[in-house]
Structure 1
């Protein structure tokens, strides 16, 4: 079977996640509870320097923490990814005042951090243009700020109780795009109702629209989005890969717990799959730890694609070993994990987008 996660969550939050995993996936009533549960376990502080309020460690530790949560509930892990990725943005931001003002509340789970940079990551890879636009207001440049407009159709962790959302904006007057932290209560900022998802329904996933919102430089995460995005992309995708790693491990563990006859029927498929999962996970953690993905993003794309394939196969084999019991609700989570696994290929950047990027990369390299 696959290696045991390097970071395990405490028994109490793990039990809460196991108890409510089905409800978190299928309903929205517990959406407000996820952040406090994860924060209470100190999970958002993993990989954050102690002098910034964290528990030290590295981004690799945070990836493994997300994987551990994903083994209990992909909905909670998805929220964790959004929160921890936004924290990563603040850790890399040159705007020290913004970090000092908001990082403590994010680490405590008092405020949600929403990573609205999926559009920006696709922009960085020339997949789509930016959907948000900033216009410099007249007056003293140090205080006048910008008028912000645009819409992002899908952002997770837009907690109704309060959030900051990161989004990239092109500048009408020219210059590189920049990234702002958008407060939920700014005039001109509107959150839609929760999207009608088929699963992960407690993830506070909604659309965000800006209509004439005004923010000054104190809300700017970076004035150079392309350079910033290239630096944080390994963490963005690496933390996201924790979703796949944790879900695949949980499916393989369920197979291991099946009857001897069921295990024997799939053994020839499970063993190489477990080895592939371990190999991809090592490549992921090594690349993030040593910074090699900064110069070779294609290698990170390949890992993300490979992990998605492993998740798909692992969950299908879990269905085979579970038999009819797995098709019943509240019977070990097999049915829920099939729904969770269906989300892995489409979370941005999607597998289709990454495969197209790799094809273009190979064509360019060949030329």
Structure 2
């Protein structure tokens, strides 16, 4: 794992001062996100260091899960290209995404639901002599900007689906900002309308997504888990801060920090074990279970923090209330908890 000292410095100096602005004013921490790549944390020239990348997401999430979520979106876009056989994307676009010159989004919320049997695909593609023409609309794609790229999956026919990465400034693509969420509004989330968008061959990640999806979905899920680990640890810290207030009456609450710490340690150990040996690539059910347990633990810890903090946590932009809203976002991030429960327990 890479030296994390510079990561801590980046977080303290470039992210922590912006957290209130991100939460209250929907500020998008674009320059901080680029600094992660510039510092070398995302370089895959000698192979993908999953443990480092998971750790980076976790450390950022302790301070601001909105920005950690943005990094997850970016890591998802890296995953698509890292697993592609497209030399243009791997030689020209991937290095810029890894070195902080460009940022990427995911665009696969709807397709992941499609492959779980929950939704139809929203994007349709027609084959042309030079690539494809794509039409349709994605209701929410995060970590977007004028010079960003993001992944899409579109249906060509009942038997074929393609995957591509698309620049946000592509002709025929219209982005509309979405800022009406309970939290995580600083995530640069947009609805994306495709009106005859030309997708040249050099943007194509895969012509056979039904097979390709199996390669990318493990990392897609793995990178989400540290979002919850970070928020959980920060929530435990918030509980510890007030354990001796009001005559120790917090001792009577049902959610206590020692219990949360034990559960967090168990999940964290298992997650890094899966990441270190890249076992997550072949242990899909175990990975889904870790993702589900993390979401539930994060919600319990954030709720517990609100109870322990009392009136101080009930302030609109307090750290405990922000983490509570972040925890609800994680519960509803694709794959959502109900999506995960369905995949883990398919027969009722």
TM-score (norm 2): 0.90
Answering whether residue 303 of structure 2 is matched by residue 316 of structure 1, we say: yes
Residue in 1 that maps onto 2:24: 26
Q: Distance in 2 between matches of 1:200 and 1:44?
A: 25
Q: Say whether the 8 Å CA contact 1:234–1:288 is kept in structure 2.
A: no
- Does residue 1:82 correspond to 2:35, yes or no? no
Structure 1 residues 323, 195: CA separation in 2 closer, same or farther (over 3 Å shift)? closer
Structure 1, unpaired ranges of 5+: 1-5
Of 189, 197, 209, 1:213 maps to: 197
Shift in CA distance, 90/280, structure 1 to aligned 2, threshold 3 Å? same
CA offset at residue 273 of structure 1? 2.0
Given candidates 167, 170, 187, the residue that maps to 1:183 is 167
1:169 to 154, 157, 160: 154
1:3 match? none
**1:154 correspondence with 2:145:** no
Distance 1:263 1:84 in 2: 39
CA distance in 2, matches of 1:93, 1:101: 13
Give the secondary-structure state (helix, strand or coil) at the position aligned to 2:225. helix
More displaced stretch, 229-238 vs 293-302: 293-302
**Deviation sequence 1:90-121 (CA, Å, 0-9, x none):** 11111121122112332343322010112222
Deviations 1:263-290 (A, max 9, x none): 6445973222211111122222223433
Partners of 2:43 and 2:326 in 1: CA distance: 28
Among candidates 244, 256, 272, match of residue 269 of structure 1: 256
State the distance in 1 between where 2:83 and 2:39 align: 16
- Paired with 1:193 and 1:330, the residues of 2 have a C-alpha distance of 22
For 1:59 and 1:47, the matched residues in 2 are separated by 9
Contact 2:36 2:42 (8 Å CA) reproduced: no
What residue is the counterpart of 1:246 in the other structure? Answer: 230
Aligned to 1:177, the other structure's residue is in SS state strand
User: Are the counterparts in 2 of residues 178 and 225 from structure 1 also a CA contact under 8 Å?
Assistant: yes
Instruction: Give the aligned length.
Output: 342
Written as runs of structure 1 = structure 2, the 5 A alignment for 1:1-367 is 7=4, 9-28=7-26, 30-31=27-28, 34-42=29-37, 45-50=40-45, 58-137=49-128, 139=129, 144-159=130-145, 161-172=146-157, 175-260=159-244, 261=248, 264-265=251-252, 269-329=256-316, 331=318, 333-360=319-346
The structural deviation recorded for 1:295 is 4.0
Tell me if structure 2 keeps the 8 A contact 1:255–1:263: no
- Alpha-carbon separation, structure 2, partners of 1:73 and 1:188: 34
- Does the 8 A contact of 1:145 with 1:217 survive in 2? yes
TM-score in terms of structure 1 length = 0.86
